Amino acid sequence: MSGLELKNIVKNFGSVEVIRDVSLAVNDGEFVAFVGPSGCGKSTLLRLIAGLDKPTGGNIVIDGNDVTDITAADRGLAMVFQSYALYPHMSVRENLAFGLENTKVAKAEIEARIADAARMLEIEPFLQRRPGQLSGGQRQRVAIGRAIVRRPDAFLLDEPLSNLDAELRVSMRTELAALHARLKATMIYVTHDQVEAMTLADRIVVLRGGRIEQVGTPLELYNKPANRFVAGFIGAPH
């Protein structure tokens, strides 16, 4: 497999250029963090990769196939949002199963995947509860579980921990790292928290005003920031 490639991606909303000629190659299995200040285009870029929105220009290639005109459902990706986006009237189990019903996945296989994800995320005791009966951290685990059961080639996570309190954010960080190690799936992780990016990512993409300022490993960005903006954002001496 050859990962994911963004080629000269442009996105305009009306006359406003929100993503300006972004090119990036993400390796299969890599954990890449998109960081940058609020409004720099992180969520927009993730939505373009997910297929929830169409680029104005450029191409998106997944495993060697151009998916620019392919629907979200056919891209083999799963997205996790900051707001969980769980169905409040369904149990946790039903939320986990929802994306797999009406697919080719057999019933027994759906059950096996739910059991596996529930074990991995330690949400087994809550399978019969509704999301409203769970804490924020438990809900976010369910949201991640819903992505896991789909067995996607890549996970797209948009600030998944930012609604959680500080202590929980730190413990969930460790869980995400363990999950990545176990699943070996590509993860693209949007965060405005540079500590999260530095601890989790193989490579960090620093965005500003819809452009990439720098791409590198946490150490490269820390030791050799391309400019004062990157240094300031990463918290490196400059």
Chain mean position to CA 90: 24
Taking the C-alpha atoms of residue 231 and residue 177, their distance in angstroms, rounded to an integer, is 25
95 binds Mg ion (CB under 5 A): no
44 binds, among Mg ion, ligand ADP, none (CB under 5 to 8 A by kind): ligand ADP
| Both structure tokens of 234 | 């990463």
Work out how close the CB of 71 gets to ligand ADP at its nearest, in angstroms, rounded to a whole number: 18
Work out how close the CB of 57 gets to ligand ADP at its nearest, in angstroms, rounded to a whole number: 16
Work out how close the CB of 42 gets to Mg ion at its nearest, in angstroms, rounded to a whole number: 5
Work out how close the CB of 42 gets to ligand ADP at its nearest, in angstroms, rounded to a whole number: 3
160 binds ligand ADP (CB under 6 A): no
Give the footprint of ligand ADP on residues 38-57 (CB under 6 A): 38-44
CB count within 10 Å of CB 139 equals 23
113 binds ligand ADP (CB under 6 A): no
| Both structure tokens of 196 | 């999260």
Percentage helix, strand, coil for the chain under 3-state DSSP, each rounded to 5: 40, 25, 35
Taking the C-alpha atoms of residue 237 and residue 223, their distance in angstroms, rounded to an integer, is 9
Considering only 23-31, 33-41, 127-135, 223-231, which stretch makes contact with ligand ADP by CB under 6 A?
33-41
The type of residue at 78 is A
55 binds, among Mg ion, ligand ADP, none (CB under 5 to 8 A by kind): none
194 binds Mg ion (CB under 5 A): no
Look at residues 25, 32, 28 and name the one whose alpha carbon lies nearest to residue 3.
28
- Per the listing, tokens 């965005």 go with 207
Which DSSP category does 163 fall into? T
Work out how close the CB of 174 gets to ligand ADP at its nearest, in angstroms, rounded to a whole number: 25
> Where along the sequence are the contacts to ligand ADP (CB under 6 A)?
13, 18, 36, 38-44
